[in-house]
């Protein structure tokens, strides 16, 4: 299972595309690159501190809850790889979740390179809970950086017999290339998205509509077999 911003849209978390490529008024390259952080750390911190605080105002939706139900039945056979940095999959009850682009509720120390759970602001340069140095940055994967868990993801793609993509535009790599990899290893492929994604032609089947409707219906059809 691969998920993107579209699965959290109905929870009130803005997607990237529906803001005309602007993230809350910021150009992507101005807030989501290591270069931007070196140039304007306060702007970048404010951007992620605001998104972290906004997480407290939203709840998982029917699509998140349906995937948590699916995990109850499929257990180890199901893996959710998400591009999202929100915590809505886990708050809905999913535990088998890989955040390939990092998490808002985590901080990465540029001193000791360790990750620490973090739920408050970073703009005031608090000390790292592990090494005490004030070198904490948002624990998100910026453009030009290597995504997390690529080995586990490739292992799962190799073994998958069903690859389902939910709420993603297929515009950002390496995630956008997973459907072709899964298909080449013999998996059936299904896209569940509001509208055809940039990679829609790579999927054997596609259903278009809001995730809050499509995902529960698809999960029920799977569980009622």
Q: Is 48 annotated as a binding residue?
A: yes
Among 45, 52, 64, 101, binds ligand BV8 (CB under 6 A): 101
Residue 85, annotated ligand binder? yes
8-30 burial string, b = 16+ CB within 10 Å, else e?
bbbbebebbbeeeeebeebeeeb
Cβ of 188: how many Cβ atoms within 10 Å?
Answer: 14
29 is in an annotated binding site: no
Q: Provide the 10 A C-beta neighbour count for residue 102.
A: 21
Q: Distance between CA 28 and CA 142 in Å, rounded?
A: 10
Q: Does the active-site annotation cover 26?
A: no
Nearest residue to 115 (alpha-carbon basis) of 125, 101, 102: 102
Q: 36, 55, 67, 85: which one contacts ligand BV8 (CB under 6 A)?
A: 85
Contact predicate 154/105, CB 8 Å: no
Q: Is 165 in the site for ligand BV8 (CB under 6 A)?
A: no
Q: Chain-centre distance of CA 188, in angstroms?
A: 22
Residue 150 tokens read as 């690529």
Contact 207, 5 (CB under 8 A): no
Q: Shortest distance, CB of residue 170 to ligand BV8, whole angstroms?
A: 7
Residues 50, 133, 150, 204: which binds ligand BV8 (CB under 6 A)? 150
What character string, x for contact with ligand BV8 (CB under 6 A) and - otherwise, covers 41-80? ----------------------------------------
Could you say which of 45, 64, 99, 101 is catalytic? 101
Nearest residue (beta carbon) to ligand BV8: 6
For residue 193, say whether it is annotated as part of any ligand binding site.
yes
- Determine the Cα–Cα distance for residues 131 and 54; give it in Å rounded to an integer: 28
Binding flag, residue 8, ligand BV8 (CB under 6 A): no
Note whether 99 binds ligand BV8 by CB under 6 A: no
171 is a site residue for ligand BV8 (CB under 6 A): yes
Q: For ligand BV8, which residue of 62, 83, 165, 189 counts as binding (CB under 6 A)? A: 83
Task: List beta partners, residue 81.
Answer: 2, 98
Residues with a catalytic annotation lie at 101
Residues near ligand BV8, by CB under 6 A: 4-6, 9-10, 15-17, 32, 83, 85, 101, 140-147, 150, 167-169, 171-175, 193-195, 197, 210-211
């Amino acid at each position: 299972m691969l998920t993107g911003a579209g699965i959290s849209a109905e929870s009130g978390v803005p997607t990237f595309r529906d803001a005309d490529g602007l993230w809350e008024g910021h150009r992507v390259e101005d807030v989501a690159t290591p270069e931007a952080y070196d140039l304007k750390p306060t702007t970048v911190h404010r951007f992620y501190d605001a998104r972290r605080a906004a997480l407290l105002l939203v709840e998982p939706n029917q699509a998140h809850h349906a995937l948590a139900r699916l995990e109850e039945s499929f257990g180890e056979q199901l893996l959710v790889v998400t591009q999202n940095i929100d915590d809505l999959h886990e708050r809905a009850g999913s535990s088998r979740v890989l955040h390939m682009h990092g998490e808002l509720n985590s901080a990465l120390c540029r001193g000791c390179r360790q990750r620490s759970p973090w739920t408050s602001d970073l703009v005031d340069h608090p000390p790292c809970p592990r090494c005490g140095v004030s070198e904490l940055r948002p624990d998100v994967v910026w453009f030009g950086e290597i995504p997390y868990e690529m080995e586990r993801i490739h292992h799962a793609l190799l073994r998958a017999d069903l690859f389902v993509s939910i709420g993603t535009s297929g515009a950002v790599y390496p995630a956008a290339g997973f459907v072709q990899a899964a298909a080449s290893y013999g998996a059936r492929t299904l896209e569940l998205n509001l509208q055809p994604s940039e990679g829609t032609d790579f999927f054997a089947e596609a259903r278009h509509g809001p995730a809050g409707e499509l995902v529960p219906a698809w999960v029920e059809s799977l569980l009622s077999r």
